Amino acid sequence: MKQQGWQIRVRGQVQGVGFRPFVWQLAQARGLRGTVCNDAEGVLIRFLGDPGDLVTALRTEAPPLARVDAVELSVAVFEAPPKGFEIAVSGGPGAQTRVTPDAATCPDCLSEVHDFGRRQGYAFTNCTHCGPRFTILESLPYDRARTTMAPFEMCPSCRAEYEDPHDRRFHAQPIACPVCGPRLWLEVGGAEVPGDAIALAAARLKAGEIVAIKGLGGFHLACDATNRFAVSELRARKGRPSKPLALMAREADLEKIVTVSAAALAALREPSAPIVLMPSRGALPASVAPGMVELGVMLPYTPLHHLLIEAFGGVLVMTSGNLSGEPQVIDNAEAREKLAPFAEAFVMHDRAIARRLDDSVVRADPPAVLRRARGQVPGTLPLPPGFERAPEVLACGGQMKAAQCLIKNGQALLGHHLGELDDALTWEAYLKADADYAALFDHHPKAVAVDLHPDFRATRHGGERAAREGLKLVAVQHHHAHLAACLGENLWPLDGGKVVGIVLDGLGLGPDGAVWGGEVLLGDYKGFRRHAWLKPAALIGGDRAQMEPWRNALVRLDAAGLGALANGLFPAAPRDIARQMAAKGVNAPLSSSAGRLFDAVAACLGLCAVKQSYEGEAAMRLEALARRAKAAPEVHLEDDGAEIDPAPLFRAIARGSDPAGLALAAHVALAEAFAARARALVESGAAHAVALTGGVFQNALLARLTVEKLDGCRVLQHRKIPANDGSLAFGQALVAAAKLERL
């Protein structure tokens, strides 16, 4: 006999977070009869009984890792009335729901690892509130059979927990124990070493050795952070002379090495467990982060890490396990092949990693995401008002810090950090991510958005896919995409009016064919006008100018009438040839790049003048130097109404003798010049707010100074996604969606 009841559809991040047992408990308390299951759209609840406050409870009492976007109540018809309430088998494949990011070990699981019991000392302990999610997921819906936990058959004890609605591991798909696995071992020279892997690894680390450790999203290379010989050896082996090394420490040890604010501590404790930048106390060897005033530190975020760092009893370097320029290693066999020259031993396990994810990097004061990866993806971003009916769009991102973005159902999925696409393995990872996200999220784009630069690999890939699948192709100017990304993150409405964007970054192709990078734009999602820009300078040698700061300094000094100073600062450089190239425009395109301007200032002050060992080194050292300044000489850049000329800054450098003060002056002068142009547009009524975006605004000092100079204006900044090219695809997707609405 048919009977009328109710159906509730819950959308959002509701799979892999203990939502079904949560619903079961709500139903039991209310005497409801029916079922709850995962399916392609999220969680589906069908029941008989009074819904009462169930809809409210689903929103307000949801599990810690859940993110509820919508709760939809409708009438349902039952062919036969259910006798009780149960968790039903999940629906078929497909994806209209969100996948949960990996989450750091919860307090309950950590206590269990430390206490006497069957999981004492077990490196893979997890529950519905923590543990691996995205790094083990192979397809949707999220069930054990569709994860890399599938090969590990549950033992009777785990099965009992898994099937007990009162247990916190009820339907916890990665549930594990020492009986059913995964297992951990220490390996040397390709052979397993008998004994406790954690104790053996800790002993080797204490002895100054380098150990490769398999984590959630890939391998790390670890060594004693207080041992300058071990740190130097790691740098020498990896060919990484000065790039800052990430650290892992217990919370109790943090104050020994960094100054910890309340905001930084809160960020460290987030389920995403990112690397957090904090002021250094100078207690560790300078070789950990040469020239920097901040250290990047994370807390242990898996039971394996907790056990290891407790056994070690100190602070560890925990840097990405990879060959220079390549993606992080994730496979055991690949690790033995590629990391053997770096590490004396390996901490291995037999749970496969479905996809590589680097550690996320954030700053807490002020809040900013520098690298969006493990723990933060595949979380989604809501689209701003006006984009509710946006079609499905794939945005391909840029060449550097590559990441893709998919728009669907009012949400944007901004993919994880991939890296530089010139590297063959990174390109392979990019192609895998393209197929991976499309399959996981059942994405069928109507359009593909790409950067305006035709030679970017991501641009070519997007064009080829659009042609192959008959999709609309939308080319988006690089800095317009940056502006749109900042607007979108701040939920600026589609019809919210124009905003002035201060867009400062490295390089991006302008619609005029020139290389942009220091711009004041007036626009919105639909279009923009360029109102002011940094006076262009030649990029002598093209791409080489990005890695050899003296080239940028030479051009800027010559333009300021200081050629003799350039000769004295860079006596060994091929100055004559460089000047001829600049004069004739041979492999020396003009660029308004703010990033290259900072490189030039750094070179003049003796920072990385000949060559940078990693991208952004000169600018990062310049910011660190400026933070040490007690005062700065007054410098005002010249402005003819459109071009902002930095020549006065270089004349001040020629007169000055305090490098720290001059470094600070560079930051103040740039902030003042661009803020003045933006303020004028706001005060004239042409713009309603100012957006700060582009990779140069990851410089916290510059961002703070610019905000101060914009006092009284509404300022939009990045908080949840990177200001750099890691968010470029999000902006591309929004611009494409806005344009498609008008077609």
Instruction: Give dist(CA 659, CA 629) in Å, integer.
Output: 8
Closest CA to 136 of 105, 102, 107: 102
Residues known to be catalytic: 20, 38
With a CB cutoff of 8 Å and minimum separation 6, the contacts of 640 are: none
Secondary structure (H, E, C), 610-634: CCCCCCCHHHHHHHHHHHCCCCCCC
Contact assessment for residue 414 and residue 436, using Cβ atoms and an 8 Å cutoff: no
Instruction: Give dist(CA 659, CA 661) in Å, integer.
Output: 6
With a CB cutoff of 8 Å and minimum separation 6, the contacts of 483 are: 499, 501, 503, 521, 523, 528, 691, 693, 731
Instruction: Give dist(CA 642, CA 662) in Å, integer.
Output: 25
Instruction: Give dist(CA 357, CA 219) in Å, integer.
Output: 10
* Structure tokens, 406: 């998919």
Contact assessment for residue 90 and residue 106, using Cβ atoms and an 8 Å cutoff: no
Burial of 75 (0-12, 13-18, 19+ CB in 10 A): exposed
* Structure tokens, 608: 């990385």
Instruction: Give dist(CA 406, CA 411) in Å, integer.
Output: 8
* C-alpha triplet 519, 520, 521: angle, nearest 5°: 105
3 state SS of 181: strand
Instruction: Give dist(CA 521, CA 690) in Å, integer.
Output: 10
Contact assessment for residue 68 and residue 58, using Cβ atoms and an 8 Å cutoff: yes
Contact assessment for residue 532 and residue 504, using Cβ atoms and an 8 Å cutoff: no
Contact assessment for residue 602 and residue 291, using Cβ atoms and an 8 Å cutoff: no
Burial of 277 (0-12, 13-18, 19+ CB in 10 A): buried
Give the DSSP letter of residue 696: G
Contact assessment for residue 555 and residue 507, using Cβ atoms and an 8 Å cutoff: no
Q: Report phi then psi at 642, rounded to 5.
A: -135, -55
- Side-chain-side CA neighbours of 503 within 13 Å: the count stands at 34
Contact assessment for residue 368 and residue 695, using Cβ atoms and an 8 Å cutoff: no
Give the DSSP letter of residue 587: T
Instruction: Give dist(CA 210, CA 201) in Å, integer.
Output: 9
Closest CA to 232 of 221, 241, 243: 241
With a CB cutoff of 8 Å and minimum separation 6, the contacts of 205 are: 211, 222, 223, 224, 312, 316
The tokens 């009992």 sit on which residue? 160
Closest CA to 205 of 231, 183, 184: 231
The strand pair at 638-639 and 643-645 is best described as: antiparallel
Closest CA to 617 of 608, 609, 627, 628: 608
The strand pair at 211-214 and 219-224 is best described as: antiparallel
Instruction: Give dist(CA 236, CA 228) in Å, integer.
Output: 12
Instruction: Give dist(CA 331, CA 96) in Å, integer.
Output: 30
Contact assessment for residue 370 and residue 722, using Cβ atoms and an 8 Å cutoff: yes
The tokens 């406050």 sit on which residue? 53
With a CB cutoff of 8 Å and minimum separation 6, the contacts of 705 are: 667, 668, 671, 672
